[in-house]
Amino acid sequence: MDRAVDQSSHRRRMAQHREQRKAEGFREANVWLRQDTLAEIDELVASGQFRNRSEAIAAAAQAFFKEKTLNT
């Protein structure tokens, strides 16, 4: 029973998190990455440079588009 309650609570928190992020203008996107790329992202997270993979990937995308804009 405790496990079912934990899972239910987790699902509820995740739904709230997704709704909050949507309200902030974010949209969810799933990506497939090469294993070596994911390992590099995990190293950045483990070193404390990012709180999680999502933040690291978002920062990389933002940096790419910022540089692209500067070069046009």
Residues 35 and 53 in one domain: yes
Residues 55 and 72 in one domain: yes
Residues 38 and 19 in one domain: no
| Amino acid 63: pLDDT | 95
* Cα–Cα distances in angstroms (integers) from residue 56 to residues 7, 65, 70, 72, in the given order: 26, 15, 21, 25
- In this predicted structure, the answer to whether residue 3 has a pLDDT above a threshold of 90 is no
Residues 51 and 38 in one domain: yes
* Domain span including residue 61: 31-72
Which of 3-7, 34-38, 68-72 has the highest mean predicted lDDT (pLDDT)? 34-38
Residues 23 and 41 in one domain: no
Residues 38 and 62 in one domain: yes
* Cα–Cα distances in angstroms (integers) from residue 59 to residues 10, 54, 55, in the given order: 26, 9, 6
Query: What is the number of structural domains in the chain?
Result: 2
Residues 65 and 42 in one domain: yes
Please report which confidence band the pLDDT of residue 72 belongs to, taking 50, 70 and 90 as the band edges: confident
| Amino acid 1: pLDDT | 54
H/E run at residue 68: helix 53-70
pTM over 0.95: no
